[in-house]
Amino acid sequence: MSASLRPLLTRLGPFVGLVLVITLFALPAETREYFLTYNNFKIILTQTVIVAIAALGMTMIIISGGIDLSVGSSVALTSVVGALLIQHGWGPVPVLLTVVAAGGLIGLLNGAAIAGLRMTPFIITLGTLGVARGSAKWLADNQTVNYDASPINGWMTTADPFSRALPVGVWVTVALALLTAVLLRDTLFGRHLFALGSNETAARYSGVRITRMKILGYTTAGCFFGLAGLFQLSRLRQGDPTVAVGLELDIIASVIIGGASLNGGVGTVLGSMIGALIMSVLRNGSQQMGWPTYFQEIIIGLVIIVAVFLDRLRQGKAPA
């Protein structure tokens, strides 16, 4: 195989996975008529929004050689913050901006602690996982935060469930994915993230300001997590401090299935988006097939292992 074909195959890997998963559920006649419909894919896309937006932030962090375990808690905390602001009569745009900023603030704290205290991201974000979850319950007074009505409620549904229109959340995800792809590929910020993740020492000697980059990376990612929290709020129409427990694992799995390496320096936006879609399709399809719930959990677990294993085979054979 020629060297120029190899990167193409690496790119295509997750895509082939997605097609495989869709084919798996499209083959049995009894599910095809429900599964392979525009409407069902509209549902799948809507259900992917939260994981996909968070996965955009996580892709940046993983490319820079880091990890963030506090995402699920950040989503819960920011959704509570949003619900409280709506309770206080704030309009949708100020709520949007504040919630995104709140996510960014958690990211800033993560980044500053990781870079400043020189501790591994795993430990710091494991700590903030608890801190943010507890803060969410504290702010919410240990219950769900309900409000009367807000235009935000309509961002994850369409007026007619069987219309062709897609909810706002889906379009926002697509736009942000394009933006992030450009950011990673064509800006100094993006290139420095890759440099940082590939080899921190080399990056430092070649003039990358490590501390600043780490803080910037985690803060930007945090903004994405905040936005994911806002869409979670929109879906449940309430701020739920117990929502999204374990969501970080779905998000990290999406990025890894999408071809990123936990060692840093490798990862694509397209891959992560397809990874997120694979997870949603698996859930939706298993339900359509009538598979019991425990079976779905097993399948999703196995898919993660297989995806990473295949990726390692590819990486291992690829020229350095």
Q: How far is the CB of 101 from other proteins (least distance, A)?
A: 23
How far, in Å, CA of 123 to CA of 70, rounded?
A: 10
Q: How far is the CB of 33 from other proteins (least distance, A)?
A: 9
Nearer to other proteins by Cβ, of 200 and 250: the residue is 250
Q: How far is the CB of 161 from other proteins (least distance, A)?
A: 5
Q: How far is the CB of 162 from other proteins (least distance, A)?
A: 6
Nearer to other proteins by Cβ, of 183 and 289: the residue is 289
Q: How far is the CB of 55 from other proteins (least distance, A)?
A: 16
Q: How far is the CB of 190 from other proteins (least distance, A)?
A: 31
List the alpha helices (DSSP H) in the chain: 5-26, 29-35, 38-63, 71-87, 92-117, 121-139, 168-186, 188-198, 200-205, 210-236, 247-257, 269-288, 293-317
Buried b (16+ CB within 10 A) or exposed e, 118-129: eeebeebbeebb
Q: Which amino acid is at 163?
A: S
Which among 52, 24, 18, 71 has a CA at the least distance from the CA of 276?
52
Nearer to other proteins by Cβ, of 136 and 203: the residue is 136
Residues 6+ away with beta carbon under 8 Å from 241: 76, 77, 80, 133, 136, 137, 139, 140, 142, 143, 144, 145
Q: Which residues bind other proteins (CB under 8 A)?
A: 34, 37, 39-40, 42-43, 46-47, 50, 142-144, 146, 153, 156-157, 160-162, 232, 235-238, 240, 242-246, 283-284, 287-288, 290, 292-293, 296-297
Nearer to other proteins by Cβ, of 241 and 259: the residue is 241
Angle at 126 between CA 117 and CA 60, to 5 degrees: 75
Which among 101, 79, 102 has a CA at the least distance from the CA of 150?
79
Q: How far is the CB of 42 from other proteins (least distance, A)?
A: 8
User: By the 8 A CB rule, do 56 and 272 touch?
Assistant: yes
Nearer to other proteins by Cβ, of 261 and 286: the residue is 286
Nearer to other proteins by Cβ, of 40 and 64: the residue is 40
Residues 6+ away with beta carbon under 8 Å from 39: 161, 162
Q: How far is the CB of 78 from other proteins (least distance, A)?
A: 14
Nearer to other proteins by Cβ, of 137 and 314: the residue is 137
Handedness of CA 92, 94, 97, 101 (dihedral sign): negative
- Neighbour count for residue 116 (Cβ, 10 Å): 12
- Neighbour count for residue 142 (Cβ, 10 Å): 10
Nearer to other proteins by Cβ, of 164 and 317: the residue is 164
